[in-house]
């Protein structure tokens, strides 16, 4: 009985501790996301993020929106520099 309680606590910690649930993107994974965004395929970009990080949909959408904003800002900066 005590062993079961200990396993339940351990499993609950593992499921709720974000360190166990996601990881950082590797450079190749980030590049695949950027390429999908550049091609206009947000669904593929989201899928790659979710598969790579084991994060949730909200995190994936926020990450992709941030990349899009950064890309637009960079393109605008390049236009102004010309």
In 1-82, beta strands by DSSP E: none
Greater confidence (3 vs 64) lies with 64
The residue range of the domain holding 15 is 2-81
pLDDT beyond 60 at 19: no
At 23 the pLDDT is: 85
Cβ-defined contacts of 35-39 (< 8 Å, 24+): 37/64, 37/67, 37/68, 37/71, 38/71
Tally of domains in the chain: 1
Q: What is the pLDDT of residues 37-53, one digit of tens each?
A: 999 999 999 999 999 99
């Amino acid at each position: 009985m005590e062993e079961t309680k200990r396993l339940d606590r351990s499993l609950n910690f593992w499921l709720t501790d974000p360190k166990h649930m996601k990881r950082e993107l590797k450079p190749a994974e980030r590049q695949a996301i950027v390429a999908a965004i550049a091609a206009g395929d947000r669904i593929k970009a989201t899928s790659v993020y979710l598969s790579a990080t084991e994060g949730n949909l909200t995190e994936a959408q926020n990450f992709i929106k941030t990349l899009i904003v950064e890309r637009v800002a960079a393109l605008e900066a390049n236009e102004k520099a010309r």
